[in-house]
């Protein structure tokens, strides 16, 4: 017997001021009611692996979704009902399939600002849908997992529904969480031709400083996280048409950097769009809003240890083996190492 599509009223939303990865546990739900069809334009929220279902949030305004700093947090806060769809159901939309341009980064490098610039320029984009983050977990991204292929297909079905809900006429840009650097192969489909991808970097010293102030990351974990993004870049450079955006270049010469990005995307990003985006905190009204998250005690000590590990022979050699352009050095890195 075919499984039914279910609709749940949301009695209460949880974790509305947390950056936790989206899950069914984010909501207190009422009694489910079967529905014959799902209204077009519902936005995919997360995967329910236990029940092999995909969860959607209906009745959400598309432009507000694009303008939100974090897609998952906007849907979490705005959901009034949830639609639970068996993953064997396939896509909800009948629109022509369109492959998005995925944006990868190690986080804390201005990618949310870049998403805001794209929004102000009229480029269809969203920031951090979490069903991608779920699929990039160690368990689900493991090629040895016999269930991976089934849920990977569901991820692409949800991607089609996301693109349709956005009403995109051209390939939208989808900014991913840093965790997605673990499995870039999940985001490429060779059968569709050579895809376009984006990677954004910040010099390691500057990134480690920002990360250390905001999060209590162990030096080993911080270095491995950045190295994972470099390995992701090496993979994408080989298997896709990959464009790199540098945090430092975006701040030093935003007009040139955005002009190059616009050419890559087949559009234009005018200077006034950059001005509007930079005039406000790109993470406003989120747990990562400027000056809201307290600086973590002991961050200077962790930063010194992190830089020491980064410049160790082990990781210096690992970077050399990647065979990619140097995107991890900055003008201030050498002077900071001298001071420390």
In a domain, 33, yes or no: no
In a domain, 192, yes or no: yes
In a domain, 140, yes or no: yes
Give the C-alpha separation, 273 to 11, whole Å: 38
Q: Which CATH number does the domain housing residue 195 bear?
A: 3.40.50.300
pLDDT score of 334: 41
Interior angle at CA 68, CA 71 and CA 78, nearest 5: 65
pTM for this model (two decimals) = 0.94
CB 330 within 8 A of CB 206: yes
In a domain, 241, yes or no: yes
Q: What pLDDT band is residue 36 in, cutting at 50, 70 and 90? A: confident
In a domain, 46, yes or no: no
| 51-97 residue pLDDT tens | 999 999 999 999 999 999 999 999 999 999 999 999 999 999 877 77
Number of domains in the chain: 1
Give the C-alpha separation, 121 to 232, whole Å: 27
Sheet hosting strand 173-175, strand order edge to edge: 125-127, 173-175, 101-104, 196-201, 241-246
In a domain, 65, yes or no: no
Q: What's the whole-number mean pLDDT along residues 24-45?
A: 91
> Could you tell me which of 64, 66, 309, 303 has the C-alpha nearest to residue 206?
303
Close Cβ partners of 20 (under 8 Å, ≥ 6 residues apart):
26
In a domain, 9, yes or no: no
C-alpha distances (whole Å) from 75 to each of 63, 69, 191, 288, 291 are 13, 11, 32, 17, 24
CB 328 within 8 A of CB 248: no
In a domain, 239, yes or no: yes
pLDDT score of 291: 67
pLDDT score of 295: 77
Which residue segment(s) compose the domain that 201 sits in?
91-339
């Amino acid at each position: 017997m075919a499984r039914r599509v279910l609709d749940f009223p949301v009695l209460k939303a949880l974790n509305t001021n947390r950056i936790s990865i989206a899950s069914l546990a984010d909501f207190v739900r009422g009694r489910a009611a079967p529905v014959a069809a799902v209204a077009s334009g519902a936005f995919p929220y997360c995967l329910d692996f236990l029940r092999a279902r995909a969860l959607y949030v209906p009745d959400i305004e598309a432009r507000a979704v694009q303008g939100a700093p974090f897609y998952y947090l906007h849907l979490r806060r705005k959901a009034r009902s949830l639609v639970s769809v068996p993953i064997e159901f396939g896509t909800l939309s009948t629109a022509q399939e369109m492959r998005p341009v995925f944006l990868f980064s190690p986080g804390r490098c201005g990618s949310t600002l870049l998403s805001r610039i794209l929004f102000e320029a009229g480029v269809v984009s969203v920031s951090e849908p979490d069903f991608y983050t779920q699929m990039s977990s160690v368990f689900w991204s493991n090629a040895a997992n016999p269930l991976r292929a089934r849920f990977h297909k569901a991820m692409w079905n949800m991607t089609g529904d996301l693109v349709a809900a956005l009403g995109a006429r051209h390939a939208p840009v989808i900014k991913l969480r840093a965790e997605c650097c673990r499995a870039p192969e999940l985001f490429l489909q060779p059968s569709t031709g050579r895809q376009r991808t984006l990677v954004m970097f910040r010099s390691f010293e500057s990134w480690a400083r920002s990360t250390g102030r905001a999060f209590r990351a162990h030096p080993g974990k911080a270095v491995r996280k950045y190295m994972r993004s470099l390995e992701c870049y090496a993979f994408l450079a080989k298997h896709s048409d990959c464009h790199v955006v540098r945090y430092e270049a975006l701040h030093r010469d935003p007009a040139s950097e955005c002009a190059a990005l616009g050419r890559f995307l087949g559009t234009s990003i005018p200077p006034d769009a950059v001005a509007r985006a930079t005039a406000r905190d790109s993470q406003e009204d989120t747990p990562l809003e400027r000056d809201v998250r307290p600086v973590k005690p002991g961050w200077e000590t962790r930063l010194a240890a992190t830089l020491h590990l980064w410049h160790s022979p082990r990781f210096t050699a690992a970077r050399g083996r990647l065979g990619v352009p140097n995107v991890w050095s900055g003008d201030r890195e050498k002077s900071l190492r001298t001071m420390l």
